[in-house]
Structure 1
Amino acid sequence: MDFSPAVSSPRLLLRRFISTIYCIFEIAFSKLTYWTTGACKGTNSFVAGDKLDQNKDQNPTIPTSVNYHFTRKCNYRCGFCFHTAKTSFVLPLEEAKTGLKLLKESGMEKINFSGGEPFLHNKGEFVGKLVQYCKQDLQLPSVSIVSNGSMIKEEWFQKYGIYLDILAISCDSFDEATNQLIGRTQGRKSHLDNLFKICSWCKEYKVALKINSVINIFNYDEDMTQQINLINPVRWKVFQCLLIDGENAGETALREAERFVISDQQFQEFLDRHSSVSCLVPESNEKMRNSYLILDEYMRFLDCREGRKDPSKSILDVGVKEAIRFSGFDEKMFLKRGGNHKHESILLEFADQKCSQEAHGDSGPAAEIYSSGGGICP
């Protein structure tokens, strides 16, 4: 319906009058609130936001456990990867050490090195020196690495194994054809053969072994119970395939992970199928998204709350306390998923006992699994 100016003008004036009265009431109410909750009680706070900022400064997030993705380069092409090779930058070693020292001084107790592929840069020497520095100089209780395992040599264990507490190897399937579909492969190399070799080296050099698996459309119906039980890692982390805008989803992404995504129900089916595996630790999208403190290659915290990775300023430029304010870290979820290093220390103690008790050898059913395409640590 079309109103004439004679009809619409009184209505407009009435709306303005009501709006003005509302604004006057709102201002009066805010003044009353200020005098009753602020000035009359002797406080120095002028607005609620100031109080929130002060509380945040008084109770800053302590970076107990940090994941440092010091490189984005990788020799694999996993289709769901959510930390892709958008840059080839790697900090100089001494600058990386400086940042790690700042983190230790701010309360870091656990460091996990990841990528990309950590062993790709300088053939593993870079990550080896960082591991040595964190254990020998900073004396961190827990030092770990996540790797695809393809670049690790026994010589690395001989040189740096003594400084490493935990090595996590990514393995999404015990079927080579499935690994090919996912992209967890390089040329004709067998991902599983590398896994089995590393498994035996971890036992020999007293490094606790973890397995990380990303559950996606190509492996959610697989049964890995027998192989995981025989490998017997201290932990089997099972992640639901996650989309991150700008990494594996969206116009600027280097990956297209939408075709790998599974539903919550499919993820639960996988978990139910493996409910008998005692070392399984499930991490749904909800648990994973904001419960990790992630540092990128520039030592910037990455905030994933909006479904993408928004970087803070580098801790090398503004310090840990200032940078971590923009991390989006969900400490409650971190504790809920068992991320505190004390839980991991129990696993380490268990692994150490296991290493001292188990004998070497690959006979019996273990050898049978290995020869049929699965694998077992000797």
Structure 2
Amino acid sequence: MLVNLIQVLLGLYLCYQVFLIIYRHVPVSVNYHFTRRCNKACGFCFHTATTSHIEDLPRQKAALRLLAEAGMRKINFAGGEPFLYPKVLGAMIDYCKTDLHLESVSIVTNGSLVKESFLRQHAGKLDILAVSCDSFDEPTNIAIGRGSGDQVQKLYQIAEWCRQYGVAFKLNTVVNKLNVGEDMNAHMAALRPFRWKCFQVLIVRGENDSETGTLRNGHKFTISDEEFDAFCERHRGQACLVPEPNRLMAKSYLILDEYLRFLDRTGKQPSRPILEVGVESALESVYWDEDAFVERGGLYEWTKPEGGQDGCGGGEKLDW
């Protein structure tokens, strides 16, 4: 009876969040790409290192407070590679939980710079750690530009640290021409992420759409919708699988960039910095597809799972 009541209350709460997003344009979930710098060179990257700018910590905290006051409930720190700035990242994580009392704080990382000491220090304030891994074949990772020969081993190590320190472990995979035929079922059973996001490789104008005008040319990695669907069908037995085709991904993420501006998801100019014009005015000046955000599952139980985090089920633990 209690479980049923909790499920009903959770459903009502999610419905309320949907109402806030779609009808009041509340930035419930924000992806803050506070740096574009990265130590990897993924060939399809759609948020490339076009600048090395990073705001001072006091300005970042002020912006985070404005977002919280405007209705933000979840913050996701991304890049670039956020762990290039571990002190800044750690300070913002602690601030978001201790001072702003956000429901969920998460990080997306390529995993190469994650240290156990960071998780030990900040695990109490960090809900989700998402690691990007596109293949369990190291030569493929190297060909993509993400690998250095040890990414799979490091991935398993991070998954174990997350279990040890009570952080929900999430996995992100970009499905592309080099990995579309891969079978990852055994690794999902061993890693047991609570959520596995599989993205269809995406082309973004001005970021990865040209051989000469941009830092990356993602066209060489693109796949058809049918190929993406076949990859997802191969892994449909994984309960944690969350497929994200281009039609849902392209305009559904609310992104705050390194200058504290919202990016327009149709390729127009970004907003003015939210510290100058406020969150509401900045949000009104850009396009964000709130319906697609809801459709792709942008609202989910994003706090730390109670009693374990397993989403993909059991399986034999592999020796890495």
- So what's the TM-score if we normalise by structure 2? 0.88
1:244 is matched with 204
Alignment partners' CA distance in 2, 1:219 and 1:318: 43
SS at match of 2:108: strand
Give 1:262's match in structure 2, choosing from 213, 223, 231. 223
**RMSD between aligned alpha carbons?**
1.5
Alignment partners' CA distance in 1, 2:197 and 2:54: 27
Structure with the larger helix share: 1
2:275 is matched with 316
Q: What percent identity do the matched residue pairs reach?
A: 49
1:354 is matched with 308
The answer to whether 1:219 aligns with 2:202 is no
> In 1, are the aligned partners of 2:189 and 2:316 still within 8 Å (CA)?
no
Give structure 1 stretches of 5+ with no counterpart.
1-58, 357-363, 372-378
Amino acid at match of 2:165: Y
Give 1:204's match in structure 2, choosing from 164, 184, 188. 164
Amino acid at match of 2:206: G
Alignment partners' CA distance in 1, 2:158 and 2:264: 33
1:169 is matched with 131
TM-aligned CA deviation for residue 160 of structure 1: 1.1
SS at match of 2:187: helix
1:136 is matched with 98
> In 2, are the aligned partners of 1:293 and 1:327 still within 8 Å (CA)?
no
TM-aligned CA deviation for residue 302 of structure 1: 0.7
SS at match of 1:162: coil
2:294 is matched with 335
Alignment partners' CA distance in 2, 1:254 and 1:179: 19
2:239 is matched with 278
Give 1:98's match in structure 2, choosing from 55, 58, 62. 62
Give structure 2 stretches of 5+ with no counterpart.
1-22
> In 1, are the aligned partners of 2:193 and 2:309 still within 8 Å (CA)?
no
Amino acid at match of 2:308: K
Amino acid at match of 1:167: L
> In 2, are the aligned partners of 1:303 and 1:309 still within 8 Å (CA)?
yes
TM-aligned CA deviation for residue 316 of structure 1: 1.0
2:4 is matched with none
TM-aligned CA deviation for residue 267 of structure 1: 0.4
Alignment partners' CA distance in 2, 1:177 and 1:331: 38
Alignment partners' CA distance in 2, 1:218 and 1:337: 24
TM-aligned CA deviation for residue 344 of structure 1: 2.5
TM-aligned CA deviation for residue 370 of structure 1: 2.9
Alignment partners' CA distance in 1, 2:316 and 2:99: 43
2:319 is matched with 370
Alignment partners' CA distance in 2, 1:78 and 1:72: 13
Q: How many residues align?
A: 293
Question: CA separation of 1:260/1:173 partners in 2, compared to 1, >3 Å: closer, same or farther?
Answer: same
SS at match of 1:178: helix
Give 2:74's match in structure 1, choosing from 110, 113, 134. 110
1:37 is matched with none
Deviation sequence 1:169-202 (CA, Å, 0-9, x none): 001001101101101124xx51112111111110
TM-aligned CA deviation for residue 365 of structure 1: 3.7
> In 2, are the aligned partners of 1:68 and 1:112 still within 8 Å (CA)?
yes
TM-aligned CA deviation for residue 332 of structure 1: 1.0
Deviation sequence 1:299-321 (CA, Å, 0-9, x none): 1111122xx36311110110000
2:18 is matched with none
> In 2, are the aligned partners of 1:244 and 1:309 still within 8 Å (CA)?
no
SS at match of 1:353: coil
Deviation sequence 1:311-346 (CA, Å, 0-9, x none): 111101100000001231111111111112x5324x
Could you say which structure has the larger radius of gyration?
Answer: 1
Alignment partners' CA distance in 2, 1:336 and 1:144: 21
- So what's the TM-score if we normalise by structure 1? 0.75
Alignment partners' CA distance in 2, 1:309 and 1:158: 41
> In 2, are the aligned partners of 1:304 and 1:310 still within 8 Å (CA)?
no
Alignment partners' CA distance in 1, 2:24 and 2:52: 32
TM-aligned CA deviation for residue 355 of structure 1: 5.9
TM-aligned CA deviation for residue 245 of structure 1: 1.2
> In 1, are the aligned partners of 2:169 and 2:309 still within 8 Å (CA)?
no
The answer to whether 1:75 aligns with 2:39 is yes
> In 1, are the aligned partners of 2:37 and 2:81 still within 8 Å (CA)?
yes
The answer to whether 1:298 aligns with 2:298 is no
Alignment partners' CA distance in 2, 1:261 and 1:355: 32
Greater RCO, CA 8 A, separation 6+: 2
Of 308-317 and 209-218, deviating more is 308-317
Deviation sequence 1:211-252 (CA, Å, 0-9, x none): 000000000000001101211100000000000111111342
Deviation sequence 1:50-78 (CA, Å, 0-9, x none): xxxxxxxxx64100000000000000110
